[in-house]
Structure 1
Amino acid sequence: MNTTATSTPSAGRKALPAQPITLYRSAISGHSHRVELFLSLLGLPFERVDIDLAAGAHKTPAFLAMNAFGQVPVIQDGEVTLADSNAILVYLTGRYAVDADQWLPGEPLAAAAVQRWLSVAAGQLAFGPAVARVIQLFKRPDSPDAAVARAHALFAVMEQQLGQSAFLTGSTPTLADIANYSYAAHAPEGNVSLQAYPRLRAWLARIEALPRFVPMVKTPIGLAV
């Protein structure tokens, strides 16, 4: 178990949880990292529990009782047990963020804009750069060509969007940015170059400059950038 206890007052927090939130994660999982990143950005105390995916720890009865799909991440916040990275982001926003309307706006059109990118994170991002990275990381025999092509198609759209605003839905970061950051930043590990996307790379740098940003571990595979 790795422990992080953050107690510095934060403008982005309603109140500390009664006890540290437990984050069941894999350090190399972008889905896990987006939750870890948001916990840190909100200044919330949490404990990391690393799940050994290679050993099948995510398929044990104890873990399946927390998430029947056998996937990380999962959080435990007091009596609340919650799976699915994007669902966890929504929960943490509503439960703990003072500036909740920044991260997940209440205005219908702005809310829809964020939801669109949450869907992208579960769709084009997951089946593009995330899959390309998994193929390289675990040396799978699958051809990466389709995933790499999907990644470049996605990044071309993001590059266009980021020519209109500093973040994916406007001038300030939202859950859209948190959900899409990790696998975009680590796309080169799946042999997806970011060289052709200067606006996307600048967006990554803006997220990395946020107070209490925490990086995801880099793996020694793929391209440099």
Structure 2
Amino acid sequence: MTSPIKLYRNPKSGHCHRVELMMSLLDVPYETVDLDMANGAHKAPEYLQISPLGQVPAIDDDGTTLSDSNGILAYLVSRYGSDDWIGTTPVEKAEIQRWLSIAAGEIASGPAAARLVTVFGAGLDHAAAKAKAHGLFKVMEAALDGKTFLVGERLTIADVAGYSYVAHAPEGGVSLDAYPNIQSWLARIEALPKFVGMAKSPIPDAA
């Protein structure tokens, strides 16, 4: 790598944060480019060449451009990390992929959607998103019982993909008080030496 990776982002996007967290954990030099999305910077022709759907995050790694947060995570660990991040056995690989699917599915439609309503004013069904979040968190709470990370005792991209929106769920009105295993998991990630956090937003009344 001849220059820092450029990360095109919104600083309050969990999708963007998971990429930033991954680069920090891998100790990969990067610089952030905050897009003025309110004024359509993500739809500008030059940005659409990097991210054809006009979404964040996107990266430019010395001319290699990629979009989609989970795809970027896979790229980063493949180029700058090790197989430990993506699983070393068929079962580990499958479990990690399941959590990546959950990050793109249940996390996106649950805690991320609830936070879109309170932080960004999105016209989504807030009550439904909060209900989905609590349903997911009950599953995660059980999955983390007796485990350090989502897939056993080693940090993987599953944890990186899941962290941001779960940690910031209270900003969407979704309390984590009933989920001690999740809280402990978040604390372990936040205690990592190269952890970098996401910009915080006010917490509304939780339910």
Give the TM-score normalised by the residue count of structure 1: 0.89
Q: Which residue of 1 aligns with 2:45?
A: 61
Q: Which residue of 1 aligns with 2:98?
A: 116
Q: Taking structure 1 as reference, are residues 54 and 153 closer, same or farther at Cα in structure 2, changes over 3 Å only?
A: same
Which letter does structure 1 place at the counterpart of 2:147?
S
**CA deviation map 1:65-103 (0-9, x unaligned):** 111111000011112101010000000101011xx1221
**CA deviation map 1:105-139 (0-9, x unaligned):** 13211100100000000000000000000011123
Structure 1 segment 1-225 matched on structure 2, within 5 A: 17-97=1-81, 100-223=82-205
Is the contact between residue 137 and residue 221 of structure 1 (CA under 8 Å) also seen in structure 2? Answer: no
Q: Taking structure 1 as reference, are residues 122 and 70 closer, same or farther at Cα in structure 2, changes over 3 Å only?
A: same
Q: Which runs of 5+ in 2 are unaligned?
A: none
Following superposition, the deviation at residue 224 of structure 1 comes to 7.6
**CA deviation map 1:47-75 (0-9, x unaligned):** 10001111111011111111111100001
Is the contact between residue 113 and residue 124 of structure 2 (CA under 8 Å) also seen in structure 1? Answer: no
Q: Secondary structure at the match of 2:33?
A: strand
Which letter does structure 2 place at the counterpart of 1:152?
H
Is the contact between residue 115 and residue 172 of structure 2 (CA under 8 Å) also seen in structure 1? Answer: yes
Distance 1:224 1:186 in 2: 12
Q: Bigger shift: 161-170 or 136-145?
A: 136-145
Calculate percent identity across the aligned residue pairs. Answer: 55
Aligned length: 207
Distance 1:165 1:25 in 2: 32
Q: Which residue of 2 aligns with 1:4?
A: none
Q: Secondary structure at the match of 1:66?
A: coil
Distance 2:23 2:71 in 1: 13
Which letter does structure 1 place at the counterpart of 2:175?
S
Q: Secondary structure at the match of 1:18?
A: coil
Which letter does structure 2 place at the counterpart of 1:150?
K
Following superposition, the deviation at residue 222 of structure 1 comes to 2.0
Distance 2:206 2:196 in 1: 20
Is the contact between residue 104 and residue 174 of structure 1 (CA under 8 Å) also seen in structure 2? Answer: yes
Q: Which runs of 5+ in 1 are unaligned?
A: 1-16
Is the contact between residue 152 and residue 192 of structure 1 (CA under 8 Å) also seen in structure 2? Answer: yes
Distance 1:69 1:21 in 2: 20
Q: Bigger shift: 49-58 or 27-36?
A: 49-58
Which letter does structure 2 place at the counterpart of 1:190?
G
Q: Secondary structure at the match of 2:152?
A: coil
- Superposed CA RMSD in Å reads 1.3
Is the contact between residue 22 and residue 75 of structure 1 (CA under 8 Å) also seen in structure 2? Answer: yes
Distance 2:154 2:8 in 1: 29
